[in-house]
Each structure stands twice: as structure tokens, then as C-alpha cells.
Structure 1
């Protein structure tokens, strides 16, 4: 596997893990490690619910898990009892078959089905006139985001979704090419993104923080590198964020940043990308107006830093093959540094 190194030197190969390391772990430790990893909480964990939808899904999951475990224990206990005792000491064999084999599954599964139907209905309940609509379009392999507030011009962003805590939001998702699936497990359930069709998902984020989402439908070679960040802000901070996002980007503060901005236009980047307050208004690629404030670059592929931005500009096709960003390996190092610094300054 290769990872981006300094842009002038291309890429460096990550040191391989010694093959004897895995064999040195005692066998009983491996299952315990797997179970520990499965149970970990984090910003992309369905076990760390921070939204109303995710909380209801988590409760239902625990109900199913506990119920399934109880049924398994009961069945194994009955099987053990039947195997150890004499047949004449096992009364009511016909009743056990009818009650345990027919009535109990029918009643239990019907109750669970009714509960799940009611849950799905609650999770899909849409507000008649949502105060905030976030339109998300999946591309191979990035996310185009537009915020729509009644009476205001739409606000465009990319690969990061910012939401207000405690306020209902309606997500409207679609795809521009193949089927994708939008999933932020800490906040809500997953929903498919289908070309030519808009699906709607209400969401209420409860706890401020930074969460991670992922495309959950295989969509091509770089499906694994199609992630996004969800930043949940307190309601007041979100309003301030929205107002700040509508302002044009500031003028370059130094000659280096000015050189980077000029290089951005000299190499034709404005043909694909937009930067608010400048002549760049491209729609083919992600909006870069606040690139430096986003936690990650290229749909979760790299952390956002000057070095990684430079590496991405120079070797996008090496880092994420077959994406629509060509590798610009023709500019000199100082120009590349300046352009990366200017993009990182857009916050």
C-alpha cells in the first residue's frame, strides 16, 4: 500500500508489518480482540447514538439481541433437558411442539414485525415544511451538499455536512451516476441514493460533535474511499456558521497566498471547482470555498493539511485511481506549495 509523502518526492511505501507478528499473538486473544473492536464506540458507530433515529434503531437492536439470546438459551436448555432425561419424564410432548414450535414463533415474530413497522413509520415521518433541507448528491466518489433555507439562496458545500443540534432537518438524497447509499450510523439509518430519484430522510442530531459517514453500497473501485464528515453544532453556532459561509472568501493575506490563488486560475481549476467570492464557479467537482475548515480531503481519503492538499493536486490519480481529478504533476514545487497553502487558508 502506498501513502502520500512529500509532494516533491512522490509517494513513499508504508513499512510492511512483520509477518511473524500476527502468529505471535496467542490464539485465545484474537477472538477477544475482535469482540473488543466490534464493541468500540466512535464517530462512526451505531452503538454511539447521537441522533433520534440512531437511538431508536439502537434500542430496537438491543431488544432483538436480548430476545434472540433469551430464546437461544431457552431452546438449548430444553434440548439439553430432552437429551438427558428419560422420554417418560418429558410430559406434554405434543404441547411443546404446538406451543414452542408454532404458537411462540408466530406470536413473537408478529409482535416484532408490528414494532418494526411502527419504528420505520416514525423514522420516515416528514415535516410538511422543513425549516432546513440538506440536498446530498452522490458522485463517484464524493458528495455534493446544498443547504436550502426558505427565503434564502442555496448554499453549496462538499464532503462535509453541518447540522444544528436539536433541530429537525430533512435530507434529500440522490445520485448523479450509480447507486450509492448514505449512512451516518451515529445519527440515523441508511438510505439509498438512486439515479433519477430523490429519497427523503428526516434527521434530528442530539449531541454536538464530529461524526463520520460512509457510502454503504458498493459503487466502484474507490467505494471504500467515499466517506464524509458530519459536524453537529449547537443551534446558535450553526446559525452563525451559515451566515459566515455566505461571505466571500477573504483576499490573500500574503504574497505566497496570492501566488497560490493566481496559480489556481492559471491552471484552469475554476473550470471544475467553485470558490465563493471569486470567478471560480465550476460545478463538475467539489466546492472549495471552505476547504481548509473541513477535517478531511477527497471524501475522507486524507486529513486536510497543506502537505496533503499538495500531494492530492500532484497525484490524485495515484491516491484515488479513476476519480475525476487529474494529477497535476507539471507545476514546480513553489507554485504547488503556494496553491496548497491558499486552499488550506480558505476557512
Structure 2
């Protein structure tokens, strides 16, 4: 059916034309039942409103027999019977919606499969830290603002916040879950088919809340394994590269790059930065021009972020931009 998808698209939150925020046409093991519940509750609500409206219209239009001038209470058993019928029908609909909701909550509570991948997602004003866990510490790594997952595999998401309350939401893949400081909440997502899915913080967290976005890229198991292996390898950088020296002087206090002395933890890990699709937590496409503009005009592009105006020389911006874009 085409009309549900059209309505879902219209109701989706604006922000990224290619990946709209809409849960009503989701097909994942979590998003699918939630979408079905959403459509079902909408239909039930409309049905109850129609029933009540019809009964109200009947009550208004129905002629009451004249009482020959008598003033006093009227024992209208017919009206009471119709009210009872309306209440009974509405009660059945509402109880049905309650049962459907409880069943859906039970379905999405735990993944059907036990072979899950564990990923830590840390919300911060206003970006996302992403850490892939492994039983082998040597196979763990950290990235930012993008999750890559294999198709058909449940992914456990361990949610934390480093500052205020955030909320993790990928509409097409799962429900919302709050991220609360000093606490770890656990949810899971799974994709039925390859694609790129938009995520968003759905709990107001400050000035740039609307620009705290991320993407989830679902790929085949083989492509996911290859991507994980690439992430483990430090990006190719020459120790005597003068651009690395500029990065160390101007950026390394806040950012880390594996395989280099840069080990900052305040800002996102920039290892393999050049392979990421966006910068500034989904705000801009990752191009050299956008990156240079971001470095030079951070507080203009995204006011309030913790990255300050660095007032770098043009030559320094060129060095850092070209250096980061080559980190594939």
C-alpha cells in the first residue's frame, strides 16, 4: 500500500531529506511491531471517535416525545441503552489496544537471537561517542557519530551520558531509550536490509539538541567484518608529516587518532575521520570545504558547542583539513 508510506513520510521529522525520521514505515524486528502498533492505535482511535460521533449525532437528531407540558425528569431507557452500547464498544476497542501494546512491548524487549554485538554509545553535548566491544581487548575501538552494523544481527546498545539527559532514537530500527548520567540503559537494534538510517537525540538537551544526529549504516556481514578490521588498523600517517605536527599543536588536546601521540578525550576520536559521511554530528557533509569552514567558524555554524574558535592561520587550517581528510 502506498498511502501509509506517504503519510509516514509527511509525518516524519524534517532534518535530512534522504533519511527522514519516521517510524511508521519501519520494517526491522523492533521498528516493524512499533509501526504496526502505531497504525493500529490510530485506526482504533479513529474508530472510537466515529462511534462516539455517530451516537452523539443520533442523540441530537432523535425526536423526544412531547410530555404534554410536564416538567420533570424523563426516564428515557432507549437513550440509556444506546449510551451503554457506545461505552461497551469503546471499552472493547480500548482494552484491545492495551493488550496489543503489552504484547508489542514484550516482543521488542529482548532480541530473538543470542549472538549479539555489543556497542557502547555515549551521548555528549552535542555529539555521540561510539565504542565497539569485544572479548579481545585488542579488537575494541572507538569512533563517533556513526554506527555500522551487520544486516540480520541484533546489536546491543549500552547507553550512557557524560553530561545531561539525552535520548537514543533510530525510528526505522527501534524505539527510544533515555541516556541518563551515571547510569547505563540497554536497548537493541537490528536491520532487516542494507541501508543508511538516521538517528537523533529525542530528549531536549540544550541549544544544539536539534543538531545532535547520527547515522546507522547496515551492511552485509562480510562488509561489516572488513570494516571492523579497517577500523582496528591505525590510519596511515608518517611520523614526520608536518601536518601531523600542526594537528598535535592545535587539536590533540581534545581529539585522539590511533597510531599517533594524539590522545585527547574531550572531543570525538578522529581515527579514520576521512571515511565518515558527515561532520559536526550529522550537520554537514564531510567535504574538505565544509571541514575547513567548520574549523574556522565552529561557534558560528553550531553555537554553544565545546569546540572553541581556534583562530588558526589559513595555512594551519589547510594542513589540518588535508590531514584529516586523508585518514581513511
The answer to whether TM tops 0.5 is yes
Q: Separation in 1 of the partners of 2:31 and 2:253?
A: 39
What SS does the aligned partner of 1:119 have? helix
Q: Separation in 1 of the partners of 2:326 and 2:38?
A: 43
- 1:241 is matched with 227
- 2:280 is matched with 298
- 2:73 is matched with none
- 2:23 is matched with 46
1:115 Cα shift?
1.8
1:126 Cα shift?
5.3
Alignment gaps of 5+ in structure 1: 1-32
- 2:203 is matched with 217
Deviations 1:110-150 (Å, cap 9, x if unpaired)? 22212212211221215796531111010011111001123
- 1:30 is matched with none
> Within 5 A, what are the aligned runs for 1:76-155?
76-87=53-64, 92-101=78-87, 103-125=88-110, 131-152=116-137, 153-155=139-141
What SS does the aligned partner of 2:175 have? coil
> Which structure would you say has the larger RCO, counting Cα contacts within 8 Å and 6 or more residues apart?
1
Deviations 1:183-226 (Å, cap 9, x if unpaired)? 11111111100011111112211121111111101111111111
- TM-score (norm: length of structure 2): 0.86
CA RMSD of aligned residues (A): 2.6
> Within 5 A, what are the aligned runs for 1:1-347?
37-38=10-11, 43=19, 44-87=21-64, 92-101=78-87, 103-125=88-110, 131-152=116-137, 153-251=139-237, 258-267=241-250, 269-331=251-313, 333-347=314-328
How many residues are aligned here? 308
